[in-house]
């Protein structure tokens, strides 16, 4: 049987799309009065797509803070802060009603803190912020051009790295503003997608809009992340370089509950490769745990590759990579994905392995020992 080469490329080809459309929406961050509750020297800005986030009748009694990261600003941006000794951090939050531990609202926070505050800088989570009702806006006005935009995006295949286009419409100083661009997105996992740095010449504006990498985090069919401008021309307020973005993907071509935006569809492996089994040479076969022999052929476990020989393909728990086992003490468990294929990573020591068929003999090259071996 001829082995698909590379395997992941064939899977992606089998799942190729003519062009999946997603919706995008951005909102701005509002300064809120809860910052001093963390520390008197802190300033807090909140953004949320939840209707009750800024509502006084919100039953949430505290907000759980998690996934704190440093929100990078270039040198020119930091000059717009209150002083040069201030850093900006970003984190997710979930508003909780205490008695029943019910989620009331959720969103994103920006925390402006003194740079010497090493406790905040080192922590992966701040903990929680007590509040009464929703966030209390301070009323400070921010002129955020990239907030309040809406539009669509498209991606054209189910490879790990895929072409990704964006079209956002909004307004600037009362005039229409359109941002169009083409970039790439990378599937990190079924719950995370990384959109590459992108540049858009805003129709209706002479400003070139430059955005840094955008990490989108999934819940059901909704992805959210921190949209960050990195150009130096506009706007003047550093707060206006940030927006909270929501992406909705209703595409699910394989019906597995994971939107296609972060789905590689690895479950089609079994439909591409015909299931086989491997004999031990004495009318018995390897068992699924590879430690014993059985007299009944295992199903959907063993496959034959022209360049690999026999290999064991278990159920794939992570659709972003493929894990196989080759019953040879020099190989064992191997990992690959769309970026590393046709190279494999040996799980035992992270060595890179490459297979090649030479004169009907299967060979593999071990990059750690810089040696060719035959199977």
Average pLDDT over all residues of the chain: 75
**pLDDT tens-digit series, residues 217-240:** 999 999 999 998 887 665 567 777
pLDDT of residue 81: 47
pLDDT of residue 7: 39
Are 195 and 228 in contact by the 8 Å Cβ rule? The answer is no
Question: Would you place residue 186 in the very low, low, confident or very high pLDDT band (cuts 50, 70, 90)?
Answer: confident
Which pair of tokens denotes residue 235?
């706007």
Domain positions in the chain are 13-26+144-262, 29-130, 274-374
Integer CA distances (angstroms), 52 to 49, 95, 221, in order = 9, 10, 21
Which pair of tokens denotes residue 184?
């790439």
Question: With pLDDT > 90 as the criterion, what percentage of the chain qualifies?
Answer: 18
Exposure letters 293-303 (e unless 16+ CB within 10 A, then b): eeeeebeebbb
Which pair of tokens denotes residue 103?
């989620």
Q: How many helices (H) and strands (E) does the chain have?
A: 5, 26
Q: Which range, of 27-31, 109-113, 159-163, 204-208, averages the lowest pLDDT? A: 204-208
pLDDT of residue 101: 81
* Torsion, Cα of 270, 271, 272, 278 (10° steps): 40
Q: How far is CA 223 from its chain centroid? A: 9
Which pair of tokens denotes residue 275?
């299931």
Q: How far is CA 146 from its chain centroid? A: 22
Please state the rounded mean pLDDT for residues 262-281.
46
**pLDDT tens-digit series, residues 13-68:** 433 445 689 999 999 999 998 877 767 888 889 999 998 999 888 887 788 877 67
Most confident of 98-102, 132-136, 334-338: 132-136
Q: Which listed CATH number (3.30.390.50, 3.50.50.60, 2.40.128.120, 2.60.120.10) goes with 13-26+144-262?
A: 2.40.128.120
Question: Would you place residue 76 in the very low, low, confident or very high pLDDT band (cuts 50, 70, 90)?
Answer: very low
pLDDT of residue 5: 36
Q: Which range, of 33-42, 76-85, 135-144, 265-274, averages the lowest pLDDT? A: 265-274
Cβ-based neighbours of 115, under 8 Å, separated by 6 or more = 85, 86, 87, 121
């Amino acid at each position: 049987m001829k082995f698909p080469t590379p395997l992941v490329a064939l899977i992606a080809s089998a799942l190729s799309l003519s062009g999946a459309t997603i919706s995008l929406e951005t909102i701005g961050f509002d300064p809120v009065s809860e910052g001093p509750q963390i520390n008197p020297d802190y300033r807090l800005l909140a953004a949320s797509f939840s209707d009750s986030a800024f509502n006084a009748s919100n039953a949430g009694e505290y907000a759980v803070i998690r996934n704190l990261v440093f929100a990078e600003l270039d040198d020119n941006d930091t000059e717009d802060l209150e002083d040069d000794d201030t850093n900006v951090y970003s984190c997710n939050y979930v508003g909780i009603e205490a008695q029943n531990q019910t989620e009331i609202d959720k969103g994103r926070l920006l925390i402006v803190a003194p740079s010497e505050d090493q406790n905040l800088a080192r922590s992966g989570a701040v903990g929680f912020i007590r509040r009464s009702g929703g966030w209390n806006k301070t009323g400070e006005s921010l002129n955020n051009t990239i907030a309040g935009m809406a539009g669509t995006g498209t991606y054209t295949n189910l490879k790990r790295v895929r072409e990704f286009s964006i079209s956002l419409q909004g307004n600037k100083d009362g005039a229409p503003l359109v941002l169009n661009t083409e970039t790439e997105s990378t599937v990190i996992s079924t719950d995370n997608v990384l959109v590459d740095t992108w540049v858009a010449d805003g129709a209706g504006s002479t400003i070139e809009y430059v955005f840094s990498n955008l990490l989108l985090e999934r819940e059901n069919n909704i992805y959210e992340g921190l949209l960050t401008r990195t150009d130096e021309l506009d706007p003047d307020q550093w707060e206006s370089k940030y927006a909270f973005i929501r992406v909705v993907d209703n595409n699910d071509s394989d019906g597995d509950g994971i939107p296609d935006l972060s789905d590689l569809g690895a479950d089609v492996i079994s439909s591409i490769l015909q299931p086989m089994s491997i004999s031990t040479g004495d009318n018995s076969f390897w068992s699924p745990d590879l430690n014993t022999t059985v007299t009944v052929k295992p199903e959907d476990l063993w496959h034959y590759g022209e360049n690999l020989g026999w290999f064991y393909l278990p159920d794939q728990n992570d659709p972003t990579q493929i894990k196989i086992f080759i019953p040879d003490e020099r190989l064992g468990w191997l990992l690959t994905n769309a970026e590393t294929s046709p190279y494999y990573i040996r799980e035992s020591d992270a060595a890179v392995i490459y297979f090649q068929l030479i004169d009907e003999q299967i060979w593999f090259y071990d990059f750690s020992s810089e040696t060719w071996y035959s199977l």
